[in-house]
Amino acid sequence: MTDLDKWIIKMREEDKSINTIESYKGDVIQFMNFIEKEPEEITKEDILKYKEYLALNEMSVKSANRKYISVNSFFSFLQTELEKDVQMRIKKDKIQNQEYLEEMLAKEDFENLVQVASSYNDYRAVAIFNTLFYTGMRISEALQLKTTDISNDVVVIKGKGSKHRNVFIPQKLKSILNTYMIYRLPCKSDALFTGKKGPINRKTVDAIIKKYAAIAGISMTKAHAHNFRHLYCLTLIEKGLTIDTVADLAGHSNINTTRIYTRKTKNQLLDTINDL
**pLDDT for 222-233, tens place per residue?**
898 988 998 999
The DSSP H or E segment spanning 166 is: strand 164-168
User: Which range is most confident: 26-30, 40-44, 58-62?
Assistant: 26-30
More confident residue, 165 or 138: 138
List domains and CATH numbers for the chain.
3-80 (1.10.150), 107-273 (1.10.443.10)
pLDDT of residue 103: 64
The DSSP string of 188-223 is SS-BSSEETTEE--HHHHHHHHHHHHHHHT--TTT-
pLDDT of residue 119: 96
By C-alpha distance, which of 198, 236, 206, 235 is closest to 222?
A: 206
From 75-89, 143-157, 183-197, 255-269, the region with the lowest mean pLDDT: 255-269
Query: Are 153 and 169 a contacting pair, CB within 8 Å?
Result: yes
From 88-102, 148-162, 207-221, 249-263, the region with the lowest mean pLDDT: 88-102
> Pairing state of beta strands 194-195 and 198-199?
antiparallel
As a whole number of angstroms, the distance between CA 35 and CA 215 comes to: 30
More confident residue, 243 or 22: 22
As a whole number of angstroms, the distance between CA 8 and CA 107 comes to: 49
As a whole number of angstroms, the distance between CA 217 and CA 234 comes to: 22
From 118-127, 156-165, 168-177, 189-198, the region with the lowest mean pLDDT: 156-165
Percent of the chain with pLDDT over 70: 88
- If pLDDT is split at 50, 70 and 90, which confidence band does 161 have? low
As a whole number of angstroms, the distance between CA 145 and CA 116 comes to: 24
As a whole number of angstroms, the distance between CA 276 and CA 262 comes to: 21
pLDDT at 97 over 60: no
When the pLDDT of each residue in the chain is averaged and rounded to a whole number, the result is 86
Give the DSSP letter of residue 146.
B
pLDDT of residue 261: 67
Q: How many beta carbons lie within 10 A of that of residue 22, not counting itself?
A: 11
Over residues 110-122, the mean pLDDT reads 96
Query: Are 34 and 53 a contacting pair, CB within 8 Å?
Result: yes
Alpha helical stretches, state H, the chain: 3-13, 18-35, 44-56, 61-80, 107-119, 123-135, 139-142, 171-183, 202-216, 226-238, 243-250, 255-259, 266-274
